[in-house]
Amino acid sequence: MNYRKHYIKLIRNAQNRKIDGYVEKHHIFPKSIFGKNNNLVSLTAKEHYIAHYLLWKDFEKRYGNKNRKTQKMLNAFWQMSNRSRKTTSKVYAKNRIKMSEYLSLLLKGKPLGPCSQERKDKMRLTMQGKNTYIRSPALIEKYINAKRITMKSIERVDMFTGEVKEYESINSARRDGFDQSSIIKCCKNYINSYKKHFWKYKED
């Protein structure tokens, strides 16, 4: 079967018509392969599903099922299959086997490109049809530390008048129109001042 021919025909038909009702935007040239682009077309939900299936099968036929591009197209189609869409048991079983093979390659460290443990956990959950995202302990600790920084009390000192204003947190200052990252840089002495003010963490 000429999957590319069917894909092109589907896209051209969609480009030459106007749909009244629900549509989904589809990148004619997938972002995961070609990067960000504005080559979009409006498809019905069914057409969108078929388009991703044709892309996957076309790449599989051209490059083989272990190629990185093919795996990206398979992952995109798998995501579509698990987005509350009705899928036949035959299609689901076939896709699950393919995803299982793909994840086996990832988890065994085969050359499919760098992949962190966090990414592997996410891919494993994707195969299981779960949307829960597991954060690694290191990422959780990083998040907690960042939260502590933004919640610390700070002082804003006018560099000309010396007037001092206290904030219970950096988030409070942000609500006054100040940039959070610039305030943190001042408090950590990476820069001297920001918006004609000195900033510092309030001493306990």
Q: Which long-range contacts (CB under 8 A, 24 or more apart) does 157-165 make?
A: 157/197, 157/198, 157/199, 157/200, 158/196, 158/197, 159/193, 159/196, 159/197, 159/198, 160/196
What is the rounded distance in angstroms from the CA atom of residue 201 to the CA atom of residue 118? Answer: 33
pTM of the model: 0.45
pLDDT tens, N- to C-terminus, the chain (204 residues): 899 999 999 999 999 988 888 888 999 999 888 888 889 999 988 898 899 999 999 999 999 988 889 888 988 887 777 654 555 656 656 666 666 666 666 555 554 455 566 666 666 665 555 544 555 666 666 666 666 666 788 899 998 888 999 998 888 888 888 998 898 888 888 898 999 999 998 875
Sequence ranges of the domains in the chain: 3-127, 138-201
Q: What is the CATH number of domain 138-201?
A: 1.10.10.10
What is the rounded distance in angstroms from the CA atom of residue 204 to the CA atom of residue 201? Answer: 9
Residue 146 tokens read as: 């960042």
